[in-house]
Chains A and B, each alone.
Chain A
């Protein structure tokens, strides 16, 4: 009972530890400071923790860029349990008809313009103002707008900071190098208490860098409310980058001006300039900006080589003038100038099969197709190259470095995926390994339609291992139950032996004493009665001895360990108590443990053999030998007694029982005897192999066969008993 209490306390302690660990983990996960302070790893080319909801987010030159002018495209990161903190970043607008900024305390996000709960502060070009408001699957803006003195200009860097403390939200912005400072704050009574950070743009693309999140205190809030400048502490923009970004070729006049010159369709360029390149003008929509610029119209697509370093967005309607070179499948424009006509919604992809794409008909065209993912590798410039298969056609999809690494956790070989990208048959990219490659624009161009089938080699192997382990577990349990059963039987035998000893054996002794007392009082003149009493006393003594032997066979306390030989020796010595029989025990081979399910039958067989020898053979020597071999053990019980003629009355000496027990453990049972030459009984039984995975299947097979044999033996014994 004390042991049970001990185990109970241990279990309780383990439970408490587990509960404590669980609570600690929950507290840690819910901590408003977990992961703070945070600084982006854009410069290192990592953005795995960011999740996109719409837009076209890519890491380019160590900055996060959204090339899409989708309304309300957002990219989120951080913990939803962050409460009082500030987020700041450098923000750069890629268009003149929208806004870009930061989100704070965001949760419940979905794809959609205002499909999140949180606060947003942005720089808006339309009314040149700093806007602040709350989104709750709908947008509510502060009624007070903050006009920025010098206006909000696209293609310029601004520093934006957003702070949330309790229910006060403050936004402030400034331009690097400018002294002016603008801020706006709201005191929202029923405020959103916690949430993630995010980058967001509306109807204009944007670029973000140096995203920093810190815990905020009341002092920080007051400092912002007082108008402390929020110039970036860290940002010293790369002059070259700024130069290229701040001086786009698209001026206001260019955007609004009407295009001129003869405009050709892209298809018309394909064969016309085979012999001699010529300068042409085409109009189309930008379908890819990095690593190459592709423009597409209703008739096809064209690769614009070495375009000027101006910011272009997907969906921009452009006029491109350049030297047309006809390729085998699509034209190419060299030395091109690009003029943005207007922004428009990105072009939808054409849905084709790999077989169709492999004809080259869709070269330089934005297409969509399905395929089975065979694998992936990193290509030149740390690009992610996905190997795909659609029917007999293999092809590759190429993703720019940066956010592509975050895809890998979602991808599994043999998944069915849908990819959208620009079909390119250029051998420079295909390496002539596949008929074409797809240049994907961002992670969002790859969707996993379905995971790998369950019958993959890995899964089948896992299922096989599981079934194998389950079988082992089942067999282990079975044997443990068998052991328990045997122990219960032995325990019951012992109890019966004690009972019989206390009742039957004591009664025999009592009867013997009584008969002896009567016999002592019989007068000498009654020889017949005296002789009958003598006979009765002998009979009682004999019965008492038989009972004692039976009790000895029932008693199994000797078989507490696997040492069958010791137990049999003790048993034999008890049986021959008072006689001159010599008992010799021999042990041969490398001793190893014998499972109880084998040891018990062996012991019973040995016991029976010893009893038979003592009762019937009148031996001078009794030899007990236990021989261990690699995978078997044999027990020999040999006497030098009277012996018997083989074939006569074999069943009468309990041999049938011994044989049945031998069968139950798949043992070979042999008996050799001749009249006057003693008897040898031998039981040779296999032992379970020493533990090793290689031997397990054989062992399981043997156990199964053994089990079948036992069943048959039981059935046979039932037939015999009838």
Chain B
């Protein structure tokens, strides 16, 4: 016969085991989950949107929030971006910061995010969805950007000459806005400057280079090129370099995907850059404010920054192009 105390001992052990397992389960389930904000730019691995990662990480520093950063492998891979948005919805993120790859295709996924109560901030280029109801926009002032390009062109050509506009892409409302504002400004203030060629843009650098070469061959007296997107800028500069065109043909570029290398590209006059770092930072701040039930702006318009040969080393420009999104978390020393 088992003595009563031994029976009680085994019962006690069983109780202990059950209690321990239950406690572990309760602790595991009740452990606070880090609130995640998904930041999905047009693409990753280029220098245009990496500063937005820096800005987002800066904004969440010390807040207990964390950033989930991922993007399609190509700027035009809309399907992959939609898939990422859907996954963010499934993960029940606290907020979504999105740089849409296409104006129309992202409408439904964004509306679905809003229907799930996710605070959404669209940065860079707008979508045709009215702001409000958890949707905010942080946009580049593309009207001002177009005006800046026109004003700069006026200075370069002294009010007379021809210009080709490359990189027109209807997928991005921002690009279309800047193109229209550029031409409207020219028509209004510089009637002596004529737009002689308008070419569609894409994210294919060699194709953009070929388009630029064709444009240069077709218009031998071209005074300047306005390239509205990064591959068009690179394509135009490569075409000018390969054709040994005179340095007087100047390029005004938009949104380059890296530090503007004026020394290597003598034809490059200036770059009108959207402040992606500030966009990423403000977007996350808006989501954080919404979580704390503070009033949030429905639309923020950020002025673009014109970077010239002279201002390229300015502190503001360095701050804009900062790449260290780890903000010192990864402390390493490199040696060769």
Interface flag for A187 (CB, 8 Å): yes
A142 and B334: CB pair below 8 A? yes
Q: Which residues, 19 to 61 on B, are CB-close (under 8 Å) to A?
A: 43-45, 50, 53
- Stretch of B64-72, B155-163, B220-228 on the interface side: B64-72
Question: How many inter-chain residue pairs (CB < 8 Å) link A and B?
Answer: 116
Interface flag for B326 (CB, 8 Å): yes
Q: Which residues, 436 to 475 on A, are CB-close (under 8 Å) to B?
A: none
Interface flag for B329 (CB, 8 Å): yes
Interface flag for A296 (CB, 8 Å): no
B71 and A113: CB pair below 8 A? yes
Q: Which residue of A lies closest to B75 (CB)?
A: A345
Interface flag for B8 (CB, 8 Å): no
Interface flag for A202 (CB, 8 Å): yes
Q: Which of A97, A142, A190 contacts B331 (CB 8 A)?
A: A190
Q: Which of A73, A113, A185 contacts B335 (CB 8 A)?
A: A185
Interface flag for B199 (CB, 8 Å): no
B242 and A256: CB pair below 8 A? yes
Q: Which residues of A sit under 8 angstroms from B204, Cβ to Cβ?
A: 342-345
Q: Which of A71, A134, A142 contacts B73 (CB 8 A)?
A: A71
Give Cα A187–Cα B333 distance, bound, in whole angstroms: 5
Q: Which residues, 217 to 253 on B, are CB-close (under 8 Å) to A?
A: 242
Known interface pairs A71-B74, A143-B334, A185-B335. Does A114 touch B206 (Cβ–Cβ under 8 Å)? no
Q: Which residue of A lies closest to B217 (CB)?
A: A258
Interface flag for B330 (CB, 8 Å): yes
Give Cα A4–Cα B7 distance, bound, in whole angstroms: 12
A144 and B334: CB pair below 8 A? yes
CB distance from A24 to the nearest CB of B (A): 21
A137 and B207: CB pair below 8 A? no
> Per-position contact with B for A150-192: 1 when CB-CB < 8 Å, else 0?
0000000000000000000000000000000001111111100
Known interface pairs A71-B44, A138-B325. Does A111 touch B333 (Cβ–Cβ under 8 Å)? no
A70 and B206: CB pair below 8 A? no
Q: Which residues of B sit under 8 angstroms from A136, Cβ to Cβ?
A: 326, 330
Give Cα A256–Cα B207 distance, bound, in whole angstroms: 10
Give Cα A243–Cα B334 distance, bound, in whole angstroms: 37
Give Cα A203–Cα B204 distance, bound, in whole angstroms: 11
Interface flag for A684 (CB, 8 Å): no
Q: Which of A137, A187, A203 contacts B332 (CB 8 A)?
A: A187
A190 and B329: CB pair below 8 A? yes
Interface flag for A240 (CB, 8 Å): no
Q: Which residues, 314 to 336 on B, are CB-close (under 8 Å) to A?
A: 323-326, 329-336
Q: Which residues of A sit under 8 angstroms from B213, Cβ to Cβ?
A: 258
Give Cα A112–Cα B204 distance, bound, in whole angstroms: 19
Interface flag for A23 (CB, 8 Å): no
A186 and B326: CB pair below 8 A? no
CB distance from B292 to the nearest CB of A (A): 26
Q: Which of A137, A139, A189, A317 contacts B45 (CB 8 A)?
A: A139
> Per-position contact with B for A341-359: 1 when CB-CB < 8 Å, else 0?
1111100000000000000
CB distance from A263 to the nearest CB of B (A): 13
Q: Which of B44, B74, B331, B333 contacts A114 (CB 8 A)?
A: B44
Q: Which residues of B sit under 8 angstroms from A258, Cβ to Cβ?
A: 210, 213
A140 and B326: CB pair below 8 A? yes
Q: Which residue of B lies closest to A143 (CB)?
A: B334
> Per-position contact with A for B1-14: 1 when CB-CB < 8 Å, else 0?
11000000010000
Q: Which residue of A lies closest to B202 (CB)?
A: A344
Known interface pairs A112-B70, A112-B73, A344-B206. Does A4 touch B330 (Cβ–Cβ under 8 Å)? no
Known interface pairs A71-B43, A142-B334. Does A255 touch B69 (Cβ–Cβ under 8 Å)? no
A186 and B74: CB pair below 8 A? no
Q: Which residues, 369 to 407 on A, are CB-close (under 8 Å) to B?
A: none
Give Cα A256–Cα B10 distance, bound, in whole angstroms: 82
CB distance from B258 to the nearest CB of A (A): 10
B44 and A113: CB pair below 8 A? yes
Q: Which residues of B sit under 8 angstroms from A134, Cβ to Cβ?
A: 330, 332
Q: Which residues of B sit under 8 angstroms from A101, Cβ to Cβ?
A: none
Give Cα A380–Cα B71 distance, bound, in whole angstroms: 40
Interface flag for B169 (CB, 8 Å): no
A112 and B1: CB pair below 8 A? no
Give Cα A342–Cα B210 distance, bound, in whole angstroms: 9
Q: Which residues, 85 to 123 on A, are CB-close (under 8 Å) to B?
A: 97, 110-115
Interface flag for A5 (CB, 8 Å): yes
Give Cα A189–Cα B80 distance, bound, in whole angstroms: 34
CB distance from B268 to the nearest CB of A (A): 18
CB distance from A169 to the nearest CB of B (A): 9
Q: Which residues of A sit under 8 angstroms from B203, Cβ to Cβ?
A: 345
B44 and A112: CB pair below 8 A? yes
Give Cα A132–Cα B335 distance, bound, in whole angstroms: 11
Q: Which residues of B sit under 8 angstroms from A345, Cβ to Cβ?
A: 74, 76-77, 203-204
B330 and A188: CB pair below 8 A? yes
> Per-position contact with A for B155-184: 1 when CB-CB < 8 Å, else 0?
000000000000000000000000000000
Q: In the complex, which of the residues B80, B333, B336 has the most CB atoms of chain A within 10 Å of its own CB atom?
A: B336
Q: Which of A186, A203, A342 contacts B333 (CB 8 A)?
A: A186
Q: Which residues of B sit under 8 angstroms from A5, Cβ to Cβ?
A: 2
Known interface pairs A54-B73, A112-B73. Does A189 touch B68 (Cβ–Cβ under 8 Å)? no
Interface flag for B140 (CB, 8 Å): no
CB distance from A150 to the nearest CB of B (A): 17
Give Cα A341–Cα B205 distance, bound, in whole angstroms: 12
Give Cα A40–Cα B206 distance, bound, in whole angstroms: 36
B73 and A70: CB pair below 8 A? yes
A342 and B334: CB pair below 8 A? no
Give Cα A588–Cα B1 distance, bound, in whole angstroms: 46
Q: Which residues, 570 to 591 on A, are CB-close (under 8 Å) to B?
A: none
10 A-B residue pairs with Cβ-Cβ distance under 8 Å, sorted by A, are A70-B73, A71-B45, A112-B44, A134-B332, A137-B69, A139-B44, A186-B333, A187-B335, A188-B331, A317-B206
Besides A138-B50, A342-B209, 5 more A-B contacts (Cβ < 8 Å) are A140-B324, A140-B325, A140-B326, A142-B334, A342-B204
Per CB-CB distance, the 3 closest pairs between chain A and chain B, nearest first, are A342-B206, A113-B44, A142-B334
